[in-house]
Amino acid sequence: MLHVHRSERADGLVEALRILLADAPPDPFTPEVVAVPTRGMERWLTQRLSDRLGICANVVFPSPRRLTSDAVAAASGVDPRTDPWLPERLVWPLLEVVDERLGEPWLRDLRAYLHAGRARRFDTLRAVLRRRLGLATTLGVGPRYLHSTGQFHKGGPNTGIFVLLTATDASATPVPGTDYTFSALKQAQALGDFDALVANGREVVHYHLEDPTADFSATLEKLIAQIEK
C-alpha cells in the first residue's frame, strides 16, 4: 500500500511514518520501503525512528528514482539493468540518430542550435583568422535569454572585437499573453547585447540582414580571400 503524507515540517512526517512502521507487517521478513532523496536524510530518519520505536530495522531507503525505476520494471517486465531507455544508456544511440538525421525538417531548431547550416559557414572564416592573424574567436548563435553575449563579454580586459549579426525573421510569431512577437524579443535581446558592449567601451559592429533567406556565402568567401592575402 502506498501512503503519501505532506507537511511543512519534517518532524510531522517522521511522526506519521512512525505510526505506520509501528504496525508490523504479517510477514516479519518483508522490508518496509521508505523513499528518501539523500543518504543524509536516511541517517536522520533512522535515528529519529529509533528514538521513537526503540529500533529501526528491516527498512530500506531507496531514492525516488530507484523506487520509480523498480516500479516501472515490475510493471513492464524490463530489467532496469538492461533498460535501453535509461538516460545514461540512451545518450549515445540518440546522438547517432541526431548525426544521421540532422538535415531533416524535424531537427531544424536543434540544427540551428548546433551551429549547423549557415552558422557552420563561419567555421572557415574563424580558422583563417586564427591561422593568418593569430586571433582566437568564439561563435554564438542567439538568442541567449539567460547569459547573453553582452553580459558574458562586458568584463575582463578590453581586447575583444565583436561582430553582431541579426536578420529579419520570415514570419512574426506573437508571444502568448503579450503584445509583441518573438522576433521583437530577439531583436531587443541583440540590441541589449550591443548596448552592453558599447557601454563598457568594447569594439563592436552590428550588421542586420533585411532578407533572412539571402545567401551570404559569396560575401564570406570574399572576406576570407582578403584575409588570406
pLDDT single digits (tens) 146-189: 555 556 676 778 888 888 888 888 778 898 999 999 889 888 88
Average pLDDT for the chain = 81
Does 145 have pLDDT greater than 60?
Answer: no
The CATH number of domain 10-76 is 3.40.50.10930: yes
- Of 202, 186, 114, 187, the closest CA to residue 150 belongs to 202
Question: Cell for 212?
Answer: 533572412
- Determine the pLDDT at residue 143: 66
- Determine the pLDDT at residue 168: 84
- Of 32, 37, 77, 26, the closest CA to residue 57 belongs to 32
- Determine the pLDDT at residue 179: 92
Which residues are CB-neighbours of 210 under 8 A, at least 6 positions away? 167, 168
Bridge partners of 174, per DSSP, are 181
- Determine the pLDDT at residue 172: 82
Other CB atoms within a 10 A radius of the CB of residue 45 amount to 20
Does 207 have pLDDT greater than 80?
Answer: yes
User: Per-domain residue ranges for the chain?
Assistant: 10-76, 84-114, 120-228
**What share of the chain has pLDDT > 70, as a percent?**
88
* pLDDT (mean) for 195-224: 80
- Amino acid, res. 77: G
CA–CA dist 26, 146 (Å, integer): 55
> Do the beta carbons of residue 149 and residue 140 sit within 8 Å?
yes
